[in-house]
Amino acid sequence: MGEVFTVFLGVIFAGTIGLGGAGSEPVALPLLATQILWINLVTDSGPALAMGVDPERDDVMARPPRKMTDRILGRRMWTGILAVGLVMGIATLLTIDIFLPDGLVHGSDSLYVARTAGFTTLVFAQLFNAFTSRSDTASAFHRLFANKWLWGAVLLAAALQFAVVESPLLQQAFGTASLDAAHWAVCIGIASTVLWFDELRKMFYRSARRNKSAPAPRG
């Protein structure tokens, strides 16, 4: 959903964020097809497999069994998927806008650099999301280092992303450009908003669940 929102909103608001579309000017896509394939390869393979061997949660035996009629993807899960995907898309497009000369924020970089920064932001946003997705209710910082395979997969994905951005050979294949330290810091910082957003969402859910289960005061 992060990729869907990035491309859809990037085309709709192309003129606003500096991707063209004014008059006869063509619209520049926020992500290239090869970059989307790379995101799926890097963030949806290793981290996803590593999450399959994540240790059990502390409260797994305290949960009531699911009903036979319950859906695997319920309303709350769909809401989380769409909300986090929207945050990913906005974070990616904001990064692109920051570095482009035109748009809401005035930048000074080329389209190749801005698109590479947005591409990198989306990759790291999905890597942050791998940690938040370990539980729908518990904080991502709870037993943060319990799954060494997940950490290995995330670090490998980050190294591969660095290679696809900085390697001249891979730059030609994926339409990327080199980023300096400031660009990398901005990309990782904005990508982390996915983590903080989901932490707030889980906190509100836990608070609502505690209030719901608390006994009513006696009058």
73-118 pLDDT, tens digit each: 778 788 888 999 999 999 999 999 999 988 788 888 889 999 999 9
Q: Give domain limits for the chain.
A: 2-52+75-207
**What topology is assigned to 2-52+75-207 in CATH?**
Calcium-transporting ATPase, transmembrane domain (1.20.1110)
User: Is residue 155 pLDDT above 80, yes or no?
Assistant: yes
115 CB-near residues (< 8 Å, 6+ apart): 28, 30, 31, 32, 35, 96, 175, 176
pLDDT 10s digits, 160-171: 999 999 999 999
Closest residue by Cα to residue 16 from 118, 113, 102, 109: 102
Distance of alpha carbon 173 from alpha carbon 134, whole angstroms:
33
**Per-residue confidence at 15, pLDDT binned at 50, 70, 90?**
confident
How confident is the model at residue 213, as a pLDDT? 62
